[in-house]
Structure 1
Amino acid sequence: MAVAVAYRLRRAGEWSGAADVVELGYEERFLRRRRLMTRGGEAILVDLPQTVSLEHGDALELADGRLVEVIAAVEPLIEVRGDLPRLAWHVGNRHTPCQIEADRLLVRRDHVIAEMLRGLGAVLREVEAPFTPEGGAYGHGRTHGHSH
């Protein structure tokens, strides 16, 4: 069986009309070269020129021109409520990926982070939801360490 190859990434809002969908967790969306399986059962090989952070709503363009939409998978998370600016500062200070919403923060389940947040007065609840944390301050993607 032939494997379709994706050489190009189209960012959310730059495309329309996906032929299929691939559902990926947060860690899985950081890639350069990887074999994926679409919801429709098609194997695709992603072979991008550089490592990228795929975002919910992006699309992979296959060599034949078809598009495969990237969807953020449901993951085990912690919903954080309380003094959000203060709590977000502490989460960010630990370089922990965080999804920021008007009335809550979402972080991946981690007992150390959870204990820190409880100690700061946060109200926590375990949830299952797609995880789309904030990207780096200098464009798409993730930041690692202080070298930016």
Structure 2
Amino acid sequence: MHITHEIKENINTNIAVDTVTLDYEGRFLRRKKLTSDKGEDFLVELPETRSLNSNDGFVLDDGRIISINPATEPLTLIKHPNLTRIAWHIGNRHTPCQIDTTCLLVRKDHVLDDMLKKLGAELSTVHAPFIPEGGAYGHGRTHDHHG
């Protein structure tokens, strides 16, 4: 089994020999056995926990690169005339949020959905990769406080 200790950021995906599809939580790791989309097992052993992005790549010990593909997952699409107000409430809960010009996207959470409905938001479920904003200090993650 191959091992990777290195992540290459913003790779040209044409140089990758394979991909590994990971959901939002799966893209936050330090040490884990993964299986590529073509079925190759490899061990990720990084010096510290990392938040991985689309178009990052694992550099295997033989020099090959496996690119990271964000998985499709169930999300709540949020629409509201005052998205800034809704974004404030989401941020106040330290909840990761993907921001678009006409909507917000968060991971499915019935407690958060209930709060957003009470604020008058229009909610729908979509299935898409979740790629939230990275955070004020350059980190890709915050801690969810709502479970």
Same fold (TM over 0.5): yes
- Give the length in aligned residue pairs: 143
Cα deviation, residue 69, structure 1: 0.5
What residue in structure 2 maps to residue 104 of structure 1?
103
Cα deviation, residue 102, structure 1: 1.1
- Name the amino acid aligned to 1:131: F
Aligned residues of 2:11 and 2:57 also touching (Cα < 8 A): no
Residues 78-87 or 15-24, more deviating: 15-24
Give the secondary-structure state (helix, strand or coil) at the position aligned to 2:26: helix
What residue in structure 2 maps to residue 52 of structure 1?
50
1:5 alignment partner, one of 3, 6, 17:
3
- After TM superposition, list the pairs within 5 Å mapping 1:7-86 onto structure 2: 7-13=5-11, 17-82=15-80, 83-86=82-85
What residue in structure 1 maps to residue 127 of structure 2?
128
TM-score between the two structures when normalised by the length of structure 2: 0.92
**In structure 2, do the counterparts of structure 1 residues 16 and 49 end up closer, same or farther at CA, with 3 Å as the change threshold?**
farther
CA distance, structure 2, for counterparts of residue 15 and residue 125 of structure 1: 32
Unaligned 5+ segments in structure 2 are none
TM-score between the two structures when normalised by the length of structure 1: 0.91
Residues 122-131 or 136-145, more deviating: 136-145
Q: Deviations over 1:85-139 (max 9, x none)?
A: 1111100100111111111111111111011111111110011111111112111
Give 4+ residue runs of structure 1 displaced > 3 Å after superposition: 13-16
Unaligned 5+ segments in structure 1 are none
CA distance, structure 2, for counterparts of residue 14 and residue 129 of structure 1: 22
Over the residues paired in the alignment, what is the CA RMSD in angstroms? Answer: 1.5
